[in-house]
Structure 1
């Protein structure tokens, strides 16, 4: 297997849903699923609290579709898991390195995942605006079956209900105003300036982090996909806030 890292085209253009690439290798995983490795991809691999893209890869000279069911990343190499449409095992012998392919990401799934992910970042911004900026961001889960964002620190029980209402109102006010969403790969010092002067400890000072900005608000390092404009999130519903054992979880969803 080629050990060269996969070029992540979605890093530079989060809204491109069709592209071309070259096949690097094909094999079967330990679970029996077929795996394609390409030199570049617009498919987002699951990670950072965001689910993977789905869609298909079209192999030109063979007139064959590879249905992408899951995408994962390992050591910088993106693995596209799926099945060949209408072909049996004998197909493996004619699939060779260097074949040109076209990639098609499922638009509905990408947009839903991007809205959910962007809404999570928007809530981070709004926590500061409603006076909860002392809570330190932790984990996040941007899947459609119960998305949430987590913070280190607690909210007193007598403030919980009011803060839930304030958070939802603030988020939807920003959505109504709208604003461009951008992602840029920057030198460390420049990235830190866009993120309020400091980056998390896990970001190496020798790196060039990818910084996502939601409107004119301070940015944050993030590798996921996002909406083009804040208004594309449409509407946020904060369903619940829970604080216990030193952590606060904000449960939310998006509405059309």
Structure 2
């Protein structure tokens, strides 16, 4: 059976942590884990520098622990194990097309969203402290050493001063707060919110998803985010490295 793209419910509601869906297919990998494919999901797959959600998927007679989530060609795969599955043929027992309930681990989603939003906040701070000439690159928003990367360098004798300015600017923005808006928009509207243009990898005529922190310009993003800038709580810039035409800003968020 050819599978349709998975409907991404978190795209429209980051804080929908419980939902129902339909089991479309499942398969068993060489590592023993089973991959479930659903008609829709609230689980965020690993990607965009953000780790995957974890949680559970349950049916009337089973519980499936979601350990990892990945997306390929628009289809989301939920990897994990059935509770108490040793020696049981779940493939024969469960069947496809049945309704299931989804439960996302809330504290993990909250931490991942804060780390991801903090990366976007640093982009804003870079503009505000006079580093807007550096072109944003990739970001790594995992708990073990998150960073954002930019094309371009900062003179070595300015690194400490810029680090202090970034941290102060982030602290000011967090204490002031501001709504974080996430919208799926027509291409032209998305471009306008993002300063007049979008990256080349976004096809013209598409409907990009844009995140906008407070009154600052938006940027295209498929991740999960906080509801208000103040929900980041605190941000510490631990280090800035600049080398070979690239600058990395390492950071952490408080609890």
User: Which secondary structure state, in structure 2, belongs to the residue aligned with residue 146 of structure 1?
Assistant: coil
Q: How far 1:32 sits from its partner (Å)?
A: 2.6
In structure 2, distance between residues paired with 1:116 and 1:145? 11
> Conserved in 2, the CA contact under 8 Å of 1:26 and 1:95?
no
Runs of 5+ consecutive residues of structure 2 not aligned to the other structure: none
> The residue matched to 1:128 in structure 2 has which SS?
helix
For 2:30 and 2:220, the matched residues in 1 are separated by 33
Structure 1 segments of 4+ aligned residues over 4 angstroms from their partners: none
1:71 alignment counterpart: 69
> Partner of 2:228 in structure 1?
229
The Cα shift of 1:98 comes to 1.1
Structure 1 residue 34: deviation in Å?
0.5
TM-fit CA distance, 1:33: 1.1
Alignment size in residue pairs: 254
For the aligned residue pairs, the C-alpha RMSD in angstroms reads 0.8
2:83 paired residue among 70, 85, 92: 85
Question: 2:111 & 2:10 partners in 1: Cα distance?
Answer: 16
Matched, 1:35 2:64: no
- Structure-1 separation of matches of 2:26 and 2:198: 38
Query: Is the contact made by 1:28 and 1:34 (CA closer than 8 Å) also made in structure 2?
Result: yes
Unmatched tracts of structure 1, length 5 or more: none
Aligned to 2:112: 113
Residue 65 (structure 1) shift: 0.7
SS of equivalent to 1:87: coil
Aligned partner of residue 116 in structure 1, secondary structure: helix
Aligned twin of 1:14: 14
- Measured in 2, the distance between the counterparts of 1:22 and 1:2 equals 15
Aligned position for 1:212: 211
CA-to-partner distance for each residue in 1:164-186, whole Å, 9 max, x for gaps?
Answer: 00000001100001111111110
* 1:179-194 correspondence runs (5 A): 179-194=178-193
Return 30-39 or 14-23, whichever deviates more. 30-39
Report deviation, 1:30.
3.7
User: Which segment is superposed worse, 81-90 or 155-164?
Assistant: 81-90
Q: What TM-score do you get using the length of structure 2 for normalisation?
A: 0.98
